[in-house]
Amino acid sequence: MKIEIGTERPANFNEYWPGQYEIFSHFEYVTGIPHVLFAVTTFKENGLPNVNFHSWSSFQGDGDGFFAILAGLYQHTHAFADILRSGEFCVNFLAARHYDALERTIRHNECDSDEFRTGGFTEEKAAAVNAPRIAEAFLTLECRKEKVLDLSGAGKTALVIGRVLHAAAEEKFAHGLDDKYGPDGFMFNIHAPIDLITGEDNRGGIGTIKLERIIE
């Protein structure tokens, strides 16, 4: 038997914090789809480095370009304003052991905050854009803004597409099926999948990849 859920939020879906279902669709909690976690880095208007801990995105392209497709970037954030202003940003992939440090940049993100210092990260100069790289990242994509779309049309979140101009990878993570796919590699956001019967459960998680099969 399948549980069928439509565009109306079921009445038994608990709200665990004010505005939860204004910020997130109820389908977010119905689906529980994991997404890779990363840090978007920019320079604020005052020149201080900004860190935006983000997920809900994909990375894809063709022979005419490779793109960072950032969905659900909140329009009230420093990162969104910085990208609109400068047109440049970096996407930094870090291991799960950096989760707490990245969380600190969410709690302390004032205009006059150096968010690299807040998270204890080392600022590294980018090769192709005017945006800071996180030296501790095992992979960084340097991007130039290509397109911006108001995702729902309600002025809440935006879809930002960045053209990748340059990539930098730590040598340890540059050998195909290597440590990128394990505890020291990509971390994933498992965002509070809800119990579809009771409408309860506010637990989320952080995951990594376990390689199950090698395809020759």
pLDDT of amino acid 76: 94
CATH number of 34-208: 2.30.110.10
Determine the pLDDT at residue 190.
Answer: 96
d(CA 216, CA 201): 40
Half-sphere CA count of 144, side-chain side, radius 13 A? 6
pLDDT at 207: 97
pLDDT average per 10 residues of sequence, the chain (216 residues): 95 93 94 97 98 97 98 95 98 98 94 96 98 98 98 94 98 95 97 94 94 93
> What one-letter code names the amino acid at 183?
P
H or E element, residue 206: strand 205-208
pLDDT of residue 173: 96
DSSP string, 61-72: EETTEEEEEEEE
What would the DSSP string read from start to end of 105-158? Answer: HHHS--TT--HHHHHTPPEEE-SSSSSEEETT-SEEEEEEEEEEEESSSSSSEE
- pLDDT given for residue 38 in this prediction: 98
User: For the chain, how many residues are written?
Assistant: 216
Tokens 């501790």 label which residue?
A: 136
pTM, 2 dp = 0.94
101 by DSSP, 3-state: which? helix
Q: Residue ranges of the alpha helices (H) in 43-96?
A: 78-86
What's the confidence (pLDDT) of residue 215?
Answer: 94
Query: What is the pLDDT, as a whole number, of residue 118?
Result: 97
CA distance 63 to 212: 29
- pLDDT at residue 185, rounded to an integer: 98
